[in-house]
Amino acid sequence: MRDAILLSFTALCLVAALRHPFAGLLTWAWFTLMTPHQAAYGVYGVPLNVIIAGVVVAAYIVSGEITKFRFDPITSLIIAFAGWLTLSQIFSLAPENSEIYYDRFIKTLLFIVLCAQMAAGKLRFNAMVWTIVAAIGFFAAKGAVFTLATFGQYRVQGLPNTVLEDNNHFGIAVATILPLIFYLRAEAANPWIKRGLVVLFCLAIIAIVGTHSRGAFIALIVFGGFFWIRARHKFAILAGLMLVMIPTITFMPGEWSQRMRTIGEATQDDSFIGRVDAWVINWKLATAHPVTGVGLRNSYDKEIAQTVDIERAETAKAAHSIYFEVLGGSGFIGLFIYLSLFVYAFLSAWSVYLSKTNPKLAPWKWRFAYYAQMSLVVFAIGGASTSMEMWDGYLIIIALISALKKIAVAEQKPAGFALAAARARNWRGRKRFEDLHEESAEAR
């Protein structure tokens, strides 16, 4: 039954995509973020996401929407990063190992480029934001209920066989969407939707705590601190956060409290030491292969790791850092492009937010820019201890910042051009009237 429902709904979405390619892009985002086919066992393993991607790309070309493709700095950086990953794969030390991750990352970047180009207009834009929040928020609400039902005795995990399966990854992903929940609440007109988003926000906090992830808890604290610093009603915000967090933390078992206390004793924690070993290995691999790196996640290979550090290769596995993953896999140039993408996206959002006093700029634009900055900061700090560089969620936020910047510029320029054109028409009209008046006077 699940299979029939999923296939029928997907087929309807793809039919709609033939006329409206963005509908297909939303379906692609849904499959990427939620992987619903994993819950339909009969179609599990069927490459539905590949089929959806193919239909979206074909519809994008056939519909003529591709003619609206515009290069901007963020799009250019994404394409440059994809190109550098391709070069790294060509010179990979173990291409058969890195190929699966390269393929996954390239497909993700293709999707992100399309998001940056197709999320034009408020309706499309907010539809994509709702897709992110609904997809991650569903699992967050489910995790919160699980935490409350088990009295926090067990860790909340993400969906199996996905990027977010690990409790650390899942917790940081939920922390990343917290600012977007506030954005949607500000945009919602229906009071029940506003209340529902507040409930979702509270459940998301409970889910983050329920992951037992120290990295996710730090990301939550970063969000709270960043939001408090920039909020106008600081004490009201602080009281609201404490009203949710204090009962939740009190509710958690003593094991959770002991685990969180080890944050201040990281140098004595085996898990943290293992991460440091992985960081050192990726640094040494990048130093040995500074231009292209060794190929995505080849540092996981014990034989490759032993070429630079025999002792640490015995314990180090995943890089546990988006930055060291990229550094070891694509070298210093790849990391530079990757960091440039983060920095430029943040500065672009900042520039839109600073333009909020411009009467031509719609409030929803600077509001999203305001909250998107928070999301990027939360993920950038949380991602320093996790291997989430291939997660679509934060990249979608970067793509939306790119689209937002283009929308803001495109909507302001025509107004200026229209004003200039009107002035020109008025000048030509007055000139013509004066000429006619002079001709009439001469005739008399």
Tokens for 71? Answer: 């290069």
pTM of the full predicted structure? 0.89
Query: How far is the CA of 103 from the CAs of 76, 110, 289, in angstroms?
Result: 20, 11, 21
Residue 120: what pLDDT?
87
pLDDT at 245: 80
What angle is formed at CA 138 by the lines to CA 137 and CA 141, rounded to 5 degrees? 80
pLDDT given at position 250: 83
pLDDT at residue number 271 = 73
pLDDT in tens, 285-338: 999 999 999 999 999 998 999 999 888 877 667 788 999 999 999 999 999 999
pLDDT at site 38 = 72
Q: Is 284 exposed, middle or buried (0-12, 13-18, 19+ CB in 10 A)?
A: middle
State the residue for tokens 């034009």. 120
Q: What is the pLDDT of residues 186-237, one digit of tens each?
A: 999 999 999 999 999 999 999 999 999 999 999 999 998 888 887 777 677 7
Contact between residue 67 and residue 125 where contact means Cβ atoms under 8 Å apart: no
Q: Which residue has the tokens 């939303």?
A: 26
Is-contact 136 173, C-beta < 8 A?
A: yes
Residue 378: its pLDDT value, please? 96
Helix crossing, 270-288 with 322-354: angle to 10°?
A: 90
pLDDT along the chain (444 residues), means of 10: 81 91 95 81 70 94 93 96 97 95 96 95 95 96 94 89 90 96 95 96 94 92 85 73 81 85 68 84 95 94 89 77 96 97 96 90 94 96 93 96 83 48 49 54 52
The pLDDT of residue 292 is 95
Asked if residues 367 and 418 have their Cβ atoms less than 8 Å apart, the reply is no
Dihedral sign, Cα of residue 314, residue 317, residue 320, residue 324: positive
User: Angle CA(228)–CA(214)–CA(162) in degrees, nearest 5?
Assistant: 105
* Residue 421, pLDDT score: 44
- Domain ranges in the chain are 1-68, 71-410
Contact 404, 368 (CB under 8 A): yes
* CA distance to 49, 106, 272, 443, per residue, from 390 (Å): 16, 9, 22, 79
